[in-house]
Structure 1
Amino acid sequence: MTTSTHPVPPADPADAGPPVRDVPADVVRKALATRSYAVLATVSPAGRPHAAGVLYTTVGDDLWVSTETASRKGRNLVASPHVAVTVPVRRLPLGPPATIHFQGRAEVLAVDDPEVRRLVGMGELKGITSHGELDLPGGCMIRITPAATVHTYGVGMSLWSFVRNPLAAAGRATFRP
């Protein structure tokens, strides 16, 4: 069996597919704030990807996650702060959920970091600290700051439009200019 390699032609703008809808940032922020589960993807120093389900809470535009510094995601984030996040946004009990997905930057903070303590004192991290996470040996907090552009699929459109035309469901919101 022989295989041949063909150079990949440059992308033709005419082949780009349907245009991406602009979604109001407030719609995306509200969807993020009313959810608590995401898939967090990190990369190891050897370049191996790792994805894990996490519980999160939002403070402003940032997502906060509790983990342990010795966990795979904790070790990966110390080596590289670059992450990708996907948040499912279920609107029906059947069928695939809509999603919010973005790349971002993560910062690992000790549980006694002044910023963590301030947010805990204000009750902002209650959703990820109510099960003893602050008392875990080796526990830490991860602050994830999304890139300026956050991508969506099916968010910010009617359910009827989403079901009838899923190929037009891609969207984006701008969090920062």
Structure 2
Amino acid sequence: MSAHGGNTFIPLNIAVLTVSDTRTEDNDTSGQALVERLTQAGHKLADKAIVIDDIYQLRAQVSKWIADDSIHAIISTGGTGFTDRDNTPEALTPLFDKAIEGFGEIFRHVSLMEIGTSTIQSRAFGGIANKTVILCVPGSTNACKTAWDKVIKEQLDASHRPCNFVPHLNITTEQCESRG
């Protein structure tokens, strides 16, 4: 039992995608921050990729991971702003079976406390496709840390109550508890 009174922790297989025209494995601090946090939490890094901000290359990479039943979650960093090269929402939302509207709302809410109204320029978003949760956050390292620490970590933890994303993934668990 956890402090929330729920199930025990279930390690998930998580893929990390960095969307960037300039980052490499040597300078991808955002992707590395996500990898460090997910492994420290007890999850497994299923795969990691850096893909240029091209709609079709992004869809190809994420579609490959969505089709892989062993990958439970995908966390994407970058490409969520308003520049001409920021295309992650346009690339990935057509792949979703269901959108997770609250993810972007909650991320911007917690981010507001850190960076003020500049958070309005974040197009963080999420969805579920083929029982894989996909969470997309801005490319800054601090934004990745905020997203993991204040939103993602609990939602990818089967012991978090009253509800988390684990029952919706390709893993056998009990459904969310009633809030009643």
TM-score range, shorter chain: under 0.3
Question: Under a length normalisation based on structure 2, what TM-score does the superposition of the two structures give?
Answer: 0.24
Structure showing greater Rg: 1
Question: Under a length normalisation based on structure 1, what TM-score does the superposition of the two structures give?
Answer: 0.25
Q: Which has the higher strand share?
A: 1
Q: Which has the higher helix share?
A: 2
